[in-house]
């Protein structure tokens, strides 16, 4: 599943269509395609893992889910996976194997921009308060909670917990306040590192534990388990990552 930094890359890539009118709209997404024709794009935005295409009065929300993708000016996937095709005077935009829905009205009434780790409006203090409100949750689940860390996905989760030396089975309410603040801080910082590395096509080179087998700090075998309510693949070291419970 693409994480927040990858969605920011999409937002940047499609800016060439900003301010352009849709000439044709097609695809097998269950939305009102004729409604889109003739509408001018007001803005391309992102929130967490959502790509947002805004018009006057409504917005297209695209969630790439686990296997979604996009392309510009060339259809790269078969018609059966094509959810949305928007044709503009200066090119074509395609989205595949994803969720496409419409949001009516003002996005500010729908999204908490301060929860997006990639946003200029990110609010670390609010993230701490939200964590404090779920003291019985596992930190491995809390980091994937999009209401707290919009944009954080499984790669970022694994790397942040290793960098901060926190065991993924730790209970949020048992983690010291200073350590919680560190997790929040690193979640945002690592997301921007992720963006930088992704743009340079070197993201995998910087993974410390994700998809790895040996702890780079202890030189012992890492544990790999599917953890928490989210049941996501998690890599951790039982020796150097502290378990708070």
Largest CA distance in the chain: 60
Return the structure tokens found at 209.
């534990």
* pLDDT score of 214: 98
Helix %, strand %, coil % of the chain (to 5): 35, 25, 40
- Evaluate whether 117 touches 191 at the Cβ level (below 8 Å): yes
Kindly state the average pLDDT of the residues 211-216.
Answer: 98
Residue/partner pairs of 33-37 with CB below 8 Å, 24 or more apart: 36/60, 36/86
Rounded to whole angstroms, the Cα distance separating 117 from 4 reads 8
* pLDDT score of 68: 96
* pLDDT score of 38: 98
List, edge to edge, every strand of the sheet that includes 82-88.
Answer: 24-26, 82-88, 91-96, 69-72
Kindly state the average pLDDT of the residues 235-242.
Answer: 98
In order of their start, the domains of the chain are 4-109 (3.20.190.10), 113-236 (1.10.8.50)
Task: Give the pLDDT band (50/70/90) at residue 1.
Answer: confident
SS (H, E, C) 161-201: HHHCCECCCCEHHHCCHHHHHHHHHHHHHHHHHHHHHHHCC
Rounded to whole angstroms, the Cα distance separating 104 from 107 reads 8
Using one digit for the tens of pLDDT, what is the confidence trace for 168-201?
A: 999 999 999 999 999 999 999 999 999 999 999 9
State what percent of residues in the chain have pLDDT above 70. Answer: 100
Kindly state the average pLDDT of the residues 118-126.
Answer: 97
Give buried/exposed letters for 177-203 (b at 16+ CB in 10 A, else e): eebbbbbbebbbebbebbbebbeeeeb
Using one digit for the tens of pLDDT, what is the confidence trace for 71-114?
A: 999 999 999 999 999 999 999 999 999 999 999 999 999 999 99
Handedness of CA 211, 216, 220, 222 (dihedral sign): negative
Using one digit for the tens of pLDDT, what is the confidence trace for 130-152?
A: 999 999 999 999 999 999 999 99
Can you give the pTM of this predicted structure? 0.93
């Amino acid at each position: 599943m693409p994480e927040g930094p990858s969605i920011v890359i999409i937002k940047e890539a499609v800016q060439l269509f900003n301010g352009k009118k849709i000439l044709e709209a097609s695809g097998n997404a269950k939305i009102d395609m004729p409604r889109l024709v003739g509408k001018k794009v007001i803005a391309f935005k992102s929130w967490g893992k959502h790509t947002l295409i805004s018009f006057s009065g409504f917005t297209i929300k695209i969630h790439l889910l686990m296997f979604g993708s996009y392309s510009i000016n060339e259809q790269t996937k078969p018609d059966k996976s094509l959810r949305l095709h928007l044709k503009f005077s200066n090119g074509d935009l395609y989205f595949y194997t994803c969720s496409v829905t419409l949001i009516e009205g003002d996005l500010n009434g729908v999204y908490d921009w301060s929860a997006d780790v990639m946003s200029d409006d990110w609010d670390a203090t609010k993230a701490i308060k939200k964590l404090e409100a779920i003291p019985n949750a596992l930190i491995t689940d809390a980091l994937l909670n999009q209401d707290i860390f919009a944009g954080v996905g499984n790669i970022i989760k694994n790397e942040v917990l290793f960098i901060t030396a926190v065991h993924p089975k730790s209970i949020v309410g048992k983690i010291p306040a200073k350590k919680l603040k560190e997790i929040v801080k690193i979640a945002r910082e690592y997301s921007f590192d992720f963006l930088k590395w992704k743009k340079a096509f070197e993201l995998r080179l910087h993974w410390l534990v994700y998809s790895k087998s040996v702890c780079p700090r202890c030189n012992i075998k890492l544990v790999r388990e599917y953890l928490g309510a989210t049941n996501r693949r998690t890599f951790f070291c039982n020796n150097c990552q502290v378990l708070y419970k």
